[in-house]
Amino acid sequence: MFQSVAICGVGLIGGSFALALRQAGFSGEIIGVSSPATIEKATSLGVIHRGAPLEQALVEADLIYLAQPISAILDCLPRLDAARPEALITDAGSTKGAIVARAQRPNRRAQFLGGHPMAGKEITGVAAAEASLFRGRNYFVTPNSPAELETPAAIEFLDLLAKIGAVLRIASPADHDRTVAFTSHLPQLISTALAETISTEFGDKAEMGAGPGLLDMTRLAASSYDLWADILATNCNEVNISLDLYIAHLTKVRLNLQNGLKKEFTIASSFSKSLRNR
């Protein structure tokens, strides 16, 4: 049983994981590794018990949860060699190839197992954290081989994910990155390009034609580039492929505007409804 959990990066995801753990019955200590201001806020909100420097947290924790931005996770990985041999290190980064590759360290004693919760909100920061954030949401775990899921620490971690209500998805890092290029990164870029196109074309006057559909389609566009620069940089090839394919489909839609798009609408409508009925 995990007795002590270190959360590195106590923001929306890290904070929500801490709250979800407690709600699922975890009674051990939750240590935050974050900036002094965040530690103070997270402690006063009752999200973590206390803060500690990374080096000290590593000596104590048997579950180390990396919930920083991707570039901070990449910077952090070489500093985890001192983690306890029986501990599990996992992360919540939105791309997995670069992180899992960087995590291969001959001198580290603890196991690393990559992860990616498909959860989020428009607002970030620990004040927005909630215990139910992962409930009913896909949660990727990305071992290099199935044997990585059979260690005692991995078995306990997967059990924890089930307890916090996440829908477990096992995939290789490469399969993960290819899938989310289409299901997450492509939608983000489509939304950003839509908002940018309309803003450039109409400016504020676009408001007069805004309905519920435009609000849906531009919600993701509000996301900050700070977060997305890391994601795009670490999944550039797959995102490029997904954009290329999407532009080809959209060009076909444009060519068929007059000839009818019944087939496209039928496939799309069926897909949209099946996503909602799962």
Residue 2 interacts with a copy of itself (CB under 8 A): yes or no: no
Task: Please state, in angstroms and rounded to a whole number, the distance separating the CA atoms of residues 70 and 74.
Answer: 6
User: For a copy of itself, which residue of 111, 142, 191, 234 counts as binding (CB under 8 A)?
Assistant: 191
Using CB under 8 A, which of the segments 74-82, 98-106, 123-131, 238-246 binds a copy of itself?
A: 238-246
Task: Please state, in angstroms and rounded to a whole number, the distance separating the CA atoms of residues 35 and 52.
Answer: 10
Which residues inside 79-118 make contact with a copy of itself, applying CB under 8 A? Answer: 118
Task: Please state, in angstroms and rounded to a whole number, the distance separating the CA atoms of residues 221 and 223.
Answer: 5
Residue 214 interacts with a copy of itself (CB under 8 A): yes or no: yes
Residue 260 interacts with a copy of itself (CB under 8 A): yes or no: yes
Q: Classify residue 149 by burial, with Cβ atoms within 10 Å: 0-12, 13-18, 19+.
A: middle
User: For a copy of itself, which residue of 49, 102, 137, 163 counts as binding (CB under 8 A)?
Assistant: 137
Dig out the tokens for 172 from the structure.
């290789």
Using CB under 8 A, which of the segments 4-12, 22-30, 149-157, 248-256 binds a copy of itself?
A: 248-256
Using CB under 8 A, which of the segments 1-9, 62-70, 141-149, 185-193 binds a copy of itself?
A: 185-193
Using CB under 8 A, which of the segments 6-14, 41-49, 157-165, 205-213 binds a copy of itself?
A: 205-213
Nearer to a copy of itself, 82 or 210 (CB): 210
Proportion of the chain in helix, strand, coil states, percent, rounded to 5: 55, 15, 30
CA 198 to mean position of chain CA atoms: 28
Residue in the structure block whose two tokens are 């290819």: 178
Nearer to a copy of itself, 1 or 208 (CB): 208
Dig out the tokens for 182 from the structure.
């289409």
Q: How far is the CB of 178 from a copy of itself (least distance, A)?
A: 9
Residue 193 interacts with a copy of itself (CB under 8 A): yes or no: yes
User: For a copy of itself, which residue of 169, 172, 173, 174 counts as binding (CB under 8 A)?
Assistant: 169
User: For a copy of itself, which residue of 103, 142, 195, 234 counts as binding (CB under 8 A)?
Assistant: 195
76: CB partners within 8 A, 6+ apart: 8, 54, 66, 68
Nearer to a copy of itself, 113 or 186 (CB): 186
Nearer to a copy of itself, 57 or 131 (CB): 131
- Beta-carbon neighbour count of residue 208 at 10 Å? 7
The beta-strand segments (E) located in 59-195 are: 63-66, 88-91, 111-117, 138-142, 167-170
Residue 217 interacts with a copy of itself (CB under 8 A): yes or no: yes
Dig out the tokens for 167 from the structure.
């829908």
Residue 75 interacts with a copy of itself (CB under 8 A): yes or no: no
Task: Please state, in angstroms and rounded to a whole number, the distance separating the CA atoms of residues 238 and 244.
Answer: 10
User: For a copy of itself, which residue of 143, 171, 173, 230 counts as binding (CB under 8 A)?
Assistant: 171
